[in-house]
């Protein structure tokens, strides 16, 4: 049985950098989104909620590309391990993950995908069709599948470890985001009910 040091180079700086970029993204967008909801910072800077949301969308998308590039560089510095080199399985997982991510973006649109709720840009009703009838968080789990697919395709144990890190971070992010987002919509419904009651009077 191979030693961990033979299949994962923990001393490689690129591994730590990749982990840092993976952690940075959800922390960044949650902090910025909360700041926007509470203080409307981006809305004021860009002169409206849609412009602010589009700026945040561009920033998150660019950070995602950078994170993925750093991940690829990190895997290139890691030892190859034949037992986890599963190019067919990796390719299938990457394809499934991409379908979840892209179909989610299509269903939600730019503002629905990139935290428009925090800007006051709310959807009329929850999206319940594909891929949300498969999982409630298709973008997060689709992205996780992408990381795992690349790791298996390239035969890198370090990629599997980084994928596990992605999974844990996204799990915590959802625990943080979902209740807050639900409260945004619940608040809208309470305000609507209050208006309806006022009209009846």
- Residue 191: pLDDT above 90? no
Distance, CA of 33 to CA of 12 (rounded, Å): 33
Q: What pLDDT does 94 receive? A: 98
Q: What DSSP element (H or E) covers 141?
A: helix 138-154
- Residue 198: pLDDT above 70? no
Q: What pLDDT does 126 receive? A: 81
Specify the 3-state DSSP secondary structure of 167: helix
Instruction: Report pLDDT digits (tens) over 12-48.
Output: 999 999 999 999 999 999 999 999 999 999 999 999 9
- Residue 52: pLDDT above 90? yes
Tokens for 70, please give them: 């750093």
Instruction: Report pLDDT digits (tens) over 95-153.
Output: 999 999 999 999 999 999 999 999 999 988 888 889 999 998 999 999 999 999 999 99
């Amino acid at each position: 049985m191979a030693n961990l040091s033979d299949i994962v180079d923990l001393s490689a700086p690129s591994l730590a950098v990749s982990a840092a970029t993976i952690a940075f993204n959800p922390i960044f967008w949650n902090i910025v989104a909360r700041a926007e909801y509470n203080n409307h910072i981006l809305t004021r800077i860009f002169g409206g909620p849609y412009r602010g949301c589009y700026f945040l969308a561009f920033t998150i998308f660019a950070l995602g590309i950078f994170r993925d590039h750093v991940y690829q560089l990190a895997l290139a510095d890691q030892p190859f391990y034949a037992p986890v080199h599963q190019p067919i399985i990796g390719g299938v997982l990457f394809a499934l993950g991409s379908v979840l991510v892209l179909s989610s973006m299509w269903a939600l649109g730019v503002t629905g995908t990139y935290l428009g709720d925090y800007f006051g840009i709310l959807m009329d009703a929850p999206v319940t069709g594909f891929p949300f009838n498969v999982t409630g968080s298709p973008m997060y789990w689709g992205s996780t599948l992408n990381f795992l697919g690349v790791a298996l395709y390239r035969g890198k144990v370090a990629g599997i470890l980084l994928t596990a890190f992605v999974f844990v971070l996204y799990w915590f992010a959802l625990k943080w985001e979902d209740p807050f987002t639900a409260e945004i919509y619940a608040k809208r419904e309470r305000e609507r009910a209050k208006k309806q009651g006022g009209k009846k009077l």
